[in-house]
Structure 1
Amino acid sequence: MALFTALMLALALVLAQVTASEAQARPQTFADLAEQVSPSVVNITTSTTIAGRTGPQGLVPEGSPFEDFFNDLDRGPDGGQRRSSALGSGFVISADGFIVTNNHVIEGADEILIEFYPGGEPGVPAEIVGTDPNTDIALLKVDLDGLEFVEFGDSNGDGSRVGDWVMAMGNPLGQGFSVSAGIVSARNRALSGTYDDYIQTDAAINRGNSGGPLFNMDGEVIGVNTAILSPNGGSIGIGFAMSAAVVTNVIDQLKEFGETRRGWLGVRIQDVTPDMVDAIDGLDLARGALVTDVPAGPAEDAGMLSGDVILNFDGVEIEDTRELVRIVGNSPVGKEVPVEVLREGDMESLTVTLGRRETSEAVAFPASTEEDPETGSEADILGLTLSEITEELSDQYGLDLEEGLVITGINPDSEAASKGLLEGDVITEAGQQAITSITDLEDQIEAATEAGRKSLLLLVRRGGDPRFVALVLEEE
């Protein structure tokens, strides 16, 4: 009995020590951290001359996920010119005066003034070094030296795990140099941008916090506070900060070039969905990025083809299209990148020399000329009424393709209808093989059936935009 009692006391002592250790890991106060980083956080005031309107109008583009706090000043009579002032936040990243904020804080501004922490320089004019609307990041410069500054941390590291403590600083609702604390609620959030990689936090973020820093407990910036999700415009504990992993790459380019220079692969892609897996030879899971079109550019030069599934880019396993776009965009222009693609059941190794997205992404996907008039055959297959392209159908549906099968009818109860196929869509590939006739499609259906496949992958074009759709094969 005495031995049992001693063991229980020892266990209780160990548990008490563990609990005490965990309690010590929690911050007792954020005061020391706030005091350490405050001199590097700034308030930003912008001023713009705008045409008079009948009511207040903000400087943020309409529909922005995170609008700043605006006041209208000096409105002219009868709707004349007036001055509009906006408030936001930012932070210093170098002793010689480089400051990071959101693009929507300073967009369209005639004048930008920086207010440093109480006791610092008030109303210092700032110049715009460069902006990136795609990530809503801007880099400013003030003509001062010897400034206190903060450094970026690893937004994907141990100090940025879901559940870790974070602290936000900024200028909410014009109150200036306000501190709030919370935890990392989630990572890798996407809102609406191509390069989105947001940290979600429950630290209070309100209008005016835009452009301010989100700190880890080491005083490193792991995100730039950008957006809130709220039904009433106030904080409800769902805030978003663009991750430092994205921001640092943007800032480096803005500082060096005054603009972004992102890598460009030169393909159209879509996610691989679970219903496509059986239709793609050699694919075990719904992963990778499915290539739907390859125009003239880096990917074409490297030998990439429509229907390839990109599974590895520069040594990184690709889960979906969002991940591929982000990795490509963060890669240097001109870099030679190894790419692994799945093609007709076999892995192919390619080397792509990346172009520049900003100057190349507008390259048109050339349309074929219309074919000569001819009479095409028609058939009902997989819930679709299909016809070979004729001059009459080209005129009827506004087609600019020479080859393929145009959908002229759809069974409303079919799987094809449920997946959004429409009359006028053109099927140009089946089973990742080009088709020009009804016979070609029937051959691919037969080949897929003989191979034991349950579905067939179709490449469908609508208005020049391609996408893959998997349709279940009809049982005999």
Structure 2
Amino acid sequence: MKQTVRLFLVALFAGAITLGGYKMLEKESPISITQEPTSKFIPTNFSAVGAEMNTDFTEAAEKTVHAVVHVKNITVSRQPTNIFEYFQGGGQPRARVGSGSGVIVSPDGYIVTNNHVIANASNLEVTLNNNRTYSAKLIGTDPGTDIALIKIEGEDNFPFVPFGDSNNVKLGEWVLAVGNPFNLTSTVTAGIISAKARDLNQFDGNPQSFIQTDAAVNRGNSGGALVNTRGELIGINTAITSETGSYVGYSFAVPSNNARKVIEDILEYGNVQRGILGIQVGSLNTDLANKLGVDETQGVIIGGIEKGGGADMSGLKEGDIIKQIDGVQVNKFADMAGYLGSKRPNDVVQVTILRDGKEKTLPVTLEKLETTSIDDLGIEVKNLKKAELKDRGLKNGVMVTRALTPEIAQYKLEGIIITQLNDETVNDITDVTRIMSRRNHRSPIKMTFMDTKGQMNTFIFR
């Protein structure tokens, strides 16, 4: 019994000492409990998340969604039903329906869309966000920029999207893409400006620059609106790059300044007026810079001057490096092409060049690019000045500027001068249009030309 009491007292005494020590430690050194993270990932800065959440897309979406329309393209073609109709023509008419998007840009019903959305249309229908359907009239197209202008008529004013200044968009700026992918009307997606003046080589070598964004764009979005958070139109969604045919993170839009200029030209002149400097150029890179012995790796170097053109008259010289136009930075050819695409003939631009290590700014009056396409040959040709013809020892002819199809591109016809078509003299693009409009489309085309080495040749295309 005594042993039991003794053990109890010892235990009680030890407990008192332990409790007292705990109380002393608690006063002198408070214990903090830290929870070990359950993940190996490091959290991102919460302030960045907060900034993202402060961006409000609702106002821009509400302003835009009612002015972006669903465009249906109805084409009628004849399908041969027997061997005789196959060789002689004819057959049963069949209608095919394609679809895309468009943007109303004026209260009286003018709509901007892509040329490929309305190409070969026998009938155009436009459906608004309120499900009202209208017949549309084709006003004009420009295949070079893939822009078309159509119009609908109504008793009341239509909702429309105002143009913004695409030159002022910034990398990382939030944007919305509005359209009708997969026939899902009034779809809004968000993204940022991923790149500006993006050069897409697969577009038949067309000197154009696109706004690149990661806003989701799919089939049916073509012709739809790319808008900023203020609801201003900064681009017309046109293309994606994808191995599957669906969106994989990259989409491209024609800058609004270029689209606006195209539709204004169509309304005023009936066609697009393109202004050019009158030079041959190349984009700088490390290899070219080393070859030329210059330190610059950004800019556009002048490789040739067209005699009598705006560049020639202003004092630009071969070897000059173009760094800016009207204060807009020119790092590559697409920067220059994109900016000049919003200008017209006779506009004066301030060209800042680097010559012998020193910057110099010269005013250049843009001249008109006079071209036409020979669709049956798959080439584009332009007029030549008398001085250019004289340098080649010719009195007449038009120059091939680019191939329009991959089949023709393999022959490398750029730079040749066509002097005759079907044994008729060619003085300018008017002669080309006249000769080609009179020919029988089943007959061969005889083309006489001078190649880039100065040799005369004749090709017959069947």
Q: Could you tell me the TM-score, scaled by structure 1's length? A: 0.61
Counterparts of residues 80-229 of structure 1 (less than 5 Å): 80-119=92-131, 121-122=132-133, 124-144=134-154, 145-157=156-168, 160-192=169-201, 193=203, 194-229=206-241
Aligned residues: 333
Structure 1, unaligned runs of 5 or more = 6-14, 55-76, 371-461, 466-476
Aligned partner of residue 382 in structure 2, secondary structure: coil
In 2, the alpha carbon distance for the partners of 1:98 and 1:304 equals: 41
Q: 1:340: Cα distance to partner? A: 4.7
**Match of residue 77 from structure 2:** 50
Whether 1:289 aligns to 2:300 is: yes
Compared with structure 1, are the counterparts of its residues 99 and 293 closer, same or farther at alpha carbon in structure 2 (3 Å cutoff)?
same
Aligned partner of residue 66 in structure 2, secondary structure: helix
* Structure 2 letter corresponding to 1:52: Q
In 2, the alpha carbon distance for the partners of 1:241 and 1:200 equals: 7
Whether 1:327 aligns to 2:339 is: yes
Q: 1:42: Cα distance to partner? A: 0.7
In the alignment, is the contact (CA less than 8 A) between 2:320 and 2:353 conserved in 1?
yes
Aligned partner of residue 109 in structure 1, secondary structure: coil
Q: 1:16: Cα distance to partner? A: 11
Q: 1:114: Cα distance to partner? A: 1.0
Q: 1:320: Cα distance to partner? A: 2.8
In 2, the alpha carbon distance for the partners of 1:197 and 1:81 equals: 39
Compared with structure 1, are the counterparts of its residues 115 and 290 closer, same or farther at alpha carbon in structure 2 (3 Å cutoff)?
same
Q: Percent identity between the aligned chains?
A: 36
Q: 1:129: Cα distance to partner? A: 2.2
Compared with structure 1, are the counterparts of its residues 83 and 321 closer, same or farther at alpha carbon in structure 2 (3 Å cutoff)?
same
Give CA-to-partner distance per residue, 1:181-206, whole Å, 9 cap, x none. Answer: 33333333221354533233333221
In the alignment, is the contact (CA less than 8 A) between 1:214 and 1:224 conserved in 2?
yes
Whether 1:464 aligns to 2:452 is: yes
Q: 1:175: Cα distance to partner? A: 2.7
In the alignment, is the contact (CA less than 8 A) between 2:197 and 2:335 conserved in 1?
no
Whether 1:363 aligns to 2:383 is: yes
Structure 2, unaligned runs of 5 or more = 1-29, 31-43, 82-88, 373-380, 395-449, 454-462
Counterparts of residues 402-417 of structure 1 (less than 5 Å): none
Counterparts of residues 268-307 of structure 1 (less than 5 Å): 268-277=280-289, 280=292, 283-298=294-309, 299-307=311-319
In 1, the alpha carbon distance for the partners of 2:49 and 2:189 equals: 26
Whether 1:251 aligns to 2:263 is: yes
In 2, the alpha carbon distance for the partners of 1:50 and 1:209 equals: 25
In the alignment, is the contact (CA less than 8 A) between 1:135 and 1:195 conserved in 2?
no
In the alignment, is the contact (CA less than 8 A) between 2:273 and 2:368 conserved in 1?
yes
Q: 1:268: Cα distance to partner? A: 1.3
In the alignment, is the contact (CA less than 8 A) between 1:102 and 1:211 conserved in 2?
yes
Q: Based on CA coordinates, which of the two structures has the bigger radius of gyration?
A: 2
In 2, the alpha carbon distance for the partners of 1:206 and 1:272 equals: 34
In the alignment, is the contact (CA less than 8 A) between 2:197 and 2:334 conserved in 1?
no
Give CA-to-partner distance per residue, 1:114-148, whole Å, 9 cap, x none. Answer: 111125x31x1212222222221111111224111
* Structure 2 letter corresponding to 1:46: N
Compared with structure 1, are the counterparts of its residues 303 and 89 closer, same or farther at alpha carbon in structure 2 (3 Å cutoff)?
same
**Match of residue 38 from structure 1:** 65
In 1, the alpha carbon distance for the partners of 2:49 and 2:273 equals: 50
Aligned partner of residue 383 in structure 2, secondary structure: coil
**Match of residue 22 from structure 1:** 51
In the alignment, is the contact (CA less than 8 A) between 1:280 and 1:345 conserved in 2?
no
Aligned CA RMSD, in angstroms, stands at 3.6
In the alignment, is the contact (CA less than 8 A) between 2:209 and 2:337 conserved in 1?
no
Give CA-to-partner distance per residue, 1:65-113, whole Å, 9 cap, x none. Answer: xxxxxxxxxxxx9954422221111111111111111111012212111
